[in-house]
Amino acid sequence: MSASSSPDRSQGRAGALSPQQDLRALLWCAGAFLAAVLLHVGRIPLWASATAALCAAWTVAIALRRMRAPGRILKGALALVLVAAVIAVFHTLNGLAAGTTLLAGMGSFKLLEASARRDRYIVIGTALFLLLAACLSEQGLLYAPLYAAHAWLCCWALAIVTHPESTLGNRAAGLLALRSLALALPLTVLGFLFFPRIAGSFWAFPSGGATTGLSDTMSPGAISDLSESLAPAFRVWFDGSPPPPAERYWRGPVLHHFDGFTWSRPPFHGSSFGGESVPLGRAYRYRITLEPSSQHWWFALDTVDGSPSTAVRLTTDHVLVSERAVTEPVTYAAVSHTSVRAAGSLPFAARHLDLDPGPSDRNTRAYALARRLRSQAPSDGAFVGAVLGFFRGGGFEYTLTPPQLGADSIDDFLFSTRRGFCGHYASAFVMLMRAGGVPARVVTGYLGGEWNPIGHYLLVRESDAHAWAEVWLEGHGWTRVDPTAVVAPERLTRGIVDFLPDATSAPERLLLRVPWLVSARQGWDAANAWWTNRVIGFSLNNQLSILHRLGFAAPRTRELIWMLACGIGGWLAVTTWQFGLPRSARPDRLARAYRRLCSKLARAGAPRALYQGPLAYTEAIARRRPELAAAAAPLLAAYAELRYGAISEETSAKARASRVADFERRVRALKPAARRARASR
């Protein structure tokens, strides 16, 4: 930061500004900067936003001479405090959040010394960099009009700071800013379409936010907490009709290890356990856009045929695991079969892992129940049916608000509370299966989804989170068993919001039940989906596809660069032709009225020479047509006074406009006789 108290050279040439003009330019500069800081409310610390507001108020007080400007020592101390505060909060000066906070603070202190025009340029430039940081942080459709409005505000403020004289009013400055942005729009579109996209999401920054979605562990109540959220998890576009609602299982983490209370996924993610499967029935082809979750899971319809990306590993328990956490929207295509059959026997290691029922000193009553039911079942399939029958006739209840469970969570659920969510039933069922000698595992993911008729896709929300079980049956392989369907069969065909309406708040139920609100919500979600896929997800492949449609047989990055260069050249040529060539100014009302007066006098036989001003023209009329002088001389004198006369500062614009209108009326009323007509008479 550098202090600058003297006016810059451009101000010196134009003359000193009045206090009102200077304050006006300063207020617009401060407003553009504060608006940029407001874009980051909630993403930067509250003290950073408060600092910007206080510095803006201090700046205005300095301009009004009610407070003194800070000295060099105070400004240096404030800068050191700012850096120390950023390091204390973020433990670094790198990264989007830390860098944005530091930039907002430095811009606030720069505003304190923005007495010269060049300092105000720096503040507005800082506001534009803060706008760029906001674009990198949040790219949803809701933010797009806010970003556009702030860009307009910054250009508006820049026009006023550049031309602080009162002749450029606020409305004229706004129109100038809007015109400048309109000129830049074609260049923006060219850059978006043809600037080569770098693989790996060059503009993406790790969000560093809280982790959402399904994790690789499941404790009692974990999924029920997640199911209270209506946030979108992903959207699915099918090639053809989607599967029936009861088959819309979206596979996520598979949990193998049980410690008596919590299920978890081994660190190897099942890479060496499972078995090959043979797909049966129809193949469903679809495209998924996954919302950011800070997790590594890519969800797919159970069961996916293969990995959709080289950066995503398909484990042998059919889970898609990405090398990088999902911190931005991801779109991928997949193929799935909802029915599969094992191609061989279960490997020994997988059988050993999925037969472990947990610590032997925990959930002892559940162990005894499993042994009793197993002794009465002649086969693994019969044992599965016996356990499901226990759930069906045991007085169990499906609820989002189950009571708390103790350390022996399975015993408490099966014999005491008997009230639970899908995670409770899947956990208890798998533990009983293992205690009875049947390999089993817990599968977490999502069930169902809401069909959007506007966008023609399936919206799967976090509230659709679900857990089910898989058991190994010889000759069939891993078989899905959903014990929740025994207690609450309607859950397979209805979303959790429809099935348990009390799971959402009253405003959310209103959005989900009132027909016109439902249509509006689906329309907005479809617009968001289009924005995410077509704008945020616009990739190098999309660019090459555009080139292919333009006639390039084998488009490459080189062709993109050529198209971009040709487009920029054409834009520069059109801009230069339209706005770079000198053009005559459009005449104002007074000039147009004067032209009509000269035209009437010329038809009467007294044309004006190009070099003659209004007074010289009056003398020429007196010599050529003395009879016209009496009518023309007052009008020409009035024009000379309005155009060239000295007008005092007290003369208002309204009074001048009234005099111009009177001059127009007098010109219209003038009807001089033509010389030719008089000679004929």
Q: Which of the following is catalytic: 119, 380, 482, 525?
A: 482
Q: What are 450-453's contacts with CB under 8 Å, separation 24+? A: 450/495, 451/242, 452/235, 452/522, 452/525, 452/526, 452/529, 453/522
Q: In 3-state terms, what secondary structure has residue 288?
A: strand
Has 466 been annotated as catalytic? yes
Given the DSSP bridges, would you call strands 263-264 and 320-322 parallel, antiparallel or unpaired?
unpaired
What is the Cα–Cα distance from 154 to 157, expressed in whole angstroms?
5
Q: Residue type at 561? A: I
Q: Is residue 474 within 8 Å of 342, Cβ to Cβ? A: no
Which residues have CB under 8 Å from 669's CB, separation 6+? none
Q: Where are the beta strands (DSSP E) in 94-138?
A: none
314 strand-pairing partners: 320
Of 120, 122, 185, 190, give the one whose Cα is nearest residue 151: 185
Residue 64: CB atoms within 10 A of its CB come to 10
Backbone angles phi, psi at 627, to 5 degrees: -70, -20
Is 482 a residue of the active site? yes
Q: How far is CA 177 from the centre of its chain?
A: 24
The 3 state secondary structure assigned to 199-224 is CCCCCCCCCCCCCCCCCCEECCCHHH
Pairwise CA distance, residues 367 & 408, whole Å: 11
Is the preceding omega at residue 167 within 30 degrees of 0, hence cis?
A: no
Give residue 420's identity as a one-letter amino acid code. Answer: G
- At CB < 8 A and 24+ separation, what contacts does 278-283 make? 278/340, 278/341, 278/342, 278/343, 279/303, 279/305, 279/337, 279/339, 279/340, 280/337, 280/339, 280/340, 280/341, 281/337, 281/338, 281/339, 282/337, 282/338, 283/335, 283/336, 283/337
Angle between helices 540-549 and 170-194 (to 10 degrees): 80
Gap between the Cα atoms of 78 and 546, Å rounded: 52
Strands 320-322 and 312-314: antiparallel
Tokens of 131: 């706008």
CA 332 to chain centre: 20
Q: How far apart are CA 144 and CA 233, in angstroms?
A: 22
Helix (H) or strand (E) holding 626: helix 626-644
Which of 150, 256, 296, 466 is an active site residue? 466
Q: Find the catalytic residue in 422, 424, 525, 598.
A: 422
The whole-angstrom distance between residue 34's C-alpha and the CA centroid of its chain comes to 20
CA 174 – CA 31 distance, rounded (Å): 14
Smallest CA-to-CA distance from 224 within 66, 405, 406 is with 405
Task: Copy the structure tokens of residue 20.
Answer: 């009102």
Q: How many Å apart are CA 633 and CA 611, to the nearest integer?
A: 18
* 566 has catalytic annotation: no
List the alpha helices (DSSP H) in 142-203.
144-162, 170-194
- The radius of gyration of the chain's CA atoms, rounded to the nearest angstrom, is 38
* Catalytic residue numbers, as ranges: 422, 466, 482
